[in-house]
């Protein structure tokens, strides 16, 4: 479907949604299951296009993966038993698949070539291939391995002591995967802590990884023991309905099974700062991934300032936070978010231009944006630009516009949230 008309009469949102599986954790569950020798099982997996790409990569490497909805069974010969892939490893639109696979493949015993779609071909890869080359990985690619296609000849790796120049869980995780295979102990130093799902899952698979004050230490050569992974819901998907319920008058929505890992809950902090009316009920506090339910009602909202170490904790939520800010009283300033420029699209430009078409008072800056609210938004033709989160931002915006939103390329939303419009309609009482 390349166009959709979103014509939503003004009505409160009501009901309960069980949030689909976390994208970051779903990728990692397949990756650890593919690296570990034996049988790994997964529940709550996100069958979004990005995570399905990761499954396809591991099938080409020789893992036997069966999927029944959100359940997976992974039987793997283990990284030392992988076959050389007979085709390129195609990662589609998925930055996480592309970057993490580079780290995994660097320490394998196979030769492989990685490539994705046209958005992936523009995204910077040197942030990963640079440190991997320091570990003596044999990696080649376009413009000195800055861009895909990239070829990796797996082999022995040296450990690294690496200070992260950007707050990026993808970079950190790629290095950690390589460090698992290095002959010695690696250290990674983060200035701002990024999502730590890789470290947590390493522990679940029986590895010893130390993490304190942004310093992660990992000894190479440890064995992985396959386990069951139960993936919590994705707070980055929940964020769209948190924002919707906060801003559509008279709404009350319950979001169940929301992943509440503290490295991901920046949106909750922002909702609090904006004066949203919500409660968080933590249902599972086990050490691996905390989860719970969030009940949220509409309320009057005020602008806020977002920057510094909060940014990595809500990086994917910024498009919908910007939309929320258009409905809040006062000014919202987002800074220190220059990473948005190198996401699936340049999300600073995309958010400012698309919300601007609806009449929002929003100005892009080099590292963020400034939004003055509240503004009445009017329907217009918007373009997702092939970016799932821009598409969902447009879908939620349509709930508060006067007149319909014509959304170009809504299909990309299936990258992370195939049930998005179904959930939206159920909350609208359709």
C-beta closer to ligand S3P: residue 313 or 428:
313
C-beta closer to ligand S3P: residue 6 or 132:
132
C-beta closer to ligand S3P: residue 4 or 19:
19
Cβ atoms within 10 A of the Cβ of 16, count?
13
Q: How far apart are CA 43 and CA 26, in angstroms?
A: 9
In sequence order, the 6+-apart residues with CB closer than 8 A to the CB of 285 are: none
> Which phi and psi angles does 126 have, rounded to 5°?
-65, -25
C-beta closer to ligand S3P: residue 160 or 398:
160
**Is 290 annotated in some ligand binding site?**
no
Residues of this chain that interact with ligand S3P (CB under 6 A) are 24, 96, 168-170, 173, 194-195, 315-316, 339
**Is 300 annotated in some ligand binding site?**
no
Q: How far apart are CA 132 and CA 135, in angstroms?
A: 5
C-beta closer to ligand S3P: residue 168 or 401:
168
Closest approach, Cβ 100 to ligand S3P, in A, equals 7
**Is 389 annotated in some ligand binding site?**
yes
Closest approach, Cβ 116 to ligand S3P, in A, equals 14
**Is 347 annotated in some ligand binding site?**
yes
C-beta closer to ligand S3P: residue 40 or 170:
170
Is 316 marked active-site? yes
Closest approach, Cβ 78 to ligand S3P, in A, equals 23
**Is 23 annotated in some ligand binding site?**
yes
> Which phi and psi angles does 288 have, rounded to 5°?
-75, -65
Closest approach, Cβ 47 to ligand S3P, in A, equals 16
Handedness of CA 58, 61, 65, 69 (dihedral sign): positive
Closest approach, Cβ 107 to ligand S3P, in A, equals 18
C-beta closer to ligand S3P: residue 199 or 316:
316
Question: Are 374 and 327 in contact, with CB atoms under 8 Å apart?
Answer: yes
Closest approach, Cβ 200 to ligand S3P, in A, equals 12
Q: How far apart are CA 171 and CA 132, in angstroms?
A: 10
Question: Are 284 and 292 in contact, with CB atoms under 8 Å apart?
Answer: yes
**Is 24 annotated in some ligand binding site?**
yes
95-106 helix and 23-35 helix, angle to the nearest 10 degrees: 20
**Is 343 annotated in some ligand binding site?**
yes
Report the residue closest to ligand S3P, judged by CB: 24
List 22, 50, 316, 383, catalytic entry: 316
Cβ atoms within 10 A of the Cβ of 153, count?
15
Closest approach, Cβ 172 to ligand S3P, in A, equals 7
**Is 28 annotated in some ligand binding site?**
yes
User: What are the residue numbers of the active site?
Assistant: 316
Binding residues for phosphoenolpyruvate: 23, 95, 123, 170, 347, 389
Binding residues: 23-24, 28, 95, 123, 168, 170, 316, 343, 347, 389
Binding residues for 3-phosphoshikimate: 23-24, 28, 168, 170, 316, 343
């Amino acid at each position: 479907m390349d166009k959709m008309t979103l014509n939503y009469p003004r009505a409160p949102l009501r009901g309960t949604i069980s949030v689909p599986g976390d994208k970051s954790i779903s990728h990692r569950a397949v990756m650890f299951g593919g690296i570990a020798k034996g049988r790994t099982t997964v529940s709550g997996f996100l069958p979004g296009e990005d995570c399905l790409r990761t499954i396809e990569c591991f099938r080409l490497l020789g893992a036997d993966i069966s999927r029944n909805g959100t359940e997976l069974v992974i039987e793997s010969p283990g990284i030392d038993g992988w076959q050389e892939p007979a085709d390129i490893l195609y990662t589609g639109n998925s930055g996480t698949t592309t970057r993490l696979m580079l780290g995994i493949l660097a320490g394998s015993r196979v030769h492989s070539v990685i490539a994705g779609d046209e958005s992936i071909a523009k995204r910077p890869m040197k942030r990963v291939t640079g440190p991997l080359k320091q570990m003596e990985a044999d990696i080649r690619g376009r413009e000195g391995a800055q861009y895909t296609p990239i070829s990796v000849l797996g082999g022995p790796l040296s450990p690294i002591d690496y200070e992260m120049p950007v707050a990026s869980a993808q970079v950190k995780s790629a290095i950690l995967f390589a460090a698992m295979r290095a002959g010695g102990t690696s250290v990674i130093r983060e200035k701002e802590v990024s999502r730590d799902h890789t470290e947590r899952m390493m522990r679940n698979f029986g590895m010893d990884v130390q993490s304190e004050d942004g310093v992660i230490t990992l000894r190479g050569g440890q064995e992985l023991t396959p386990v069951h992974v139960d993936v919590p819901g994705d707070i980055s998907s929940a964020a769209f309905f948190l924002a919707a319920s906060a801003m559509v008058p008279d709404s009350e929505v319950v979001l169940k099974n929301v992943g509440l890992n503290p490295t991901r809950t920046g949106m909750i902090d922002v909702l609090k700062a904006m004066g949203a009316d919500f409660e968080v009920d933590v249902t599972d506090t086990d050490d691996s991934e905390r989860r719970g339910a969030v009940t949220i009602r509409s309320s009057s909202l005020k602008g806020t300032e977002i920057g510094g170490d909060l940014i990595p904790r809500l990086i994917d939520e910024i498009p919908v936070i910007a939309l929320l800010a258009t409905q809040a009283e006062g000014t919202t300033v987002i800074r220190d978010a220059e990473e948005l420029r190198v996401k699936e699209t340049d999300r600073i430009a995309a958010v400012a231009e698309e919300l601007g078409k609806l009449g929002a008072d929003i100005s892009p800056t080099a590292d963020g944006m400034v939004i003055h609210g509240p503004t009445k938004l009017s329907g217009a033709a918007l373009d997702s630009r092939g970016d799932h989160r821009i598409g969902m931002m447009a879908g939620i915006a349509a709930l508060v516009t006067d007149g319909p939103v014509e959304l170009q390329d809504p299909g990309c939303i299936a990258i992370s949230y195939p049930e998005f419009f179904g959930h939206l309609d159920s909350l609208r009482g359709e």
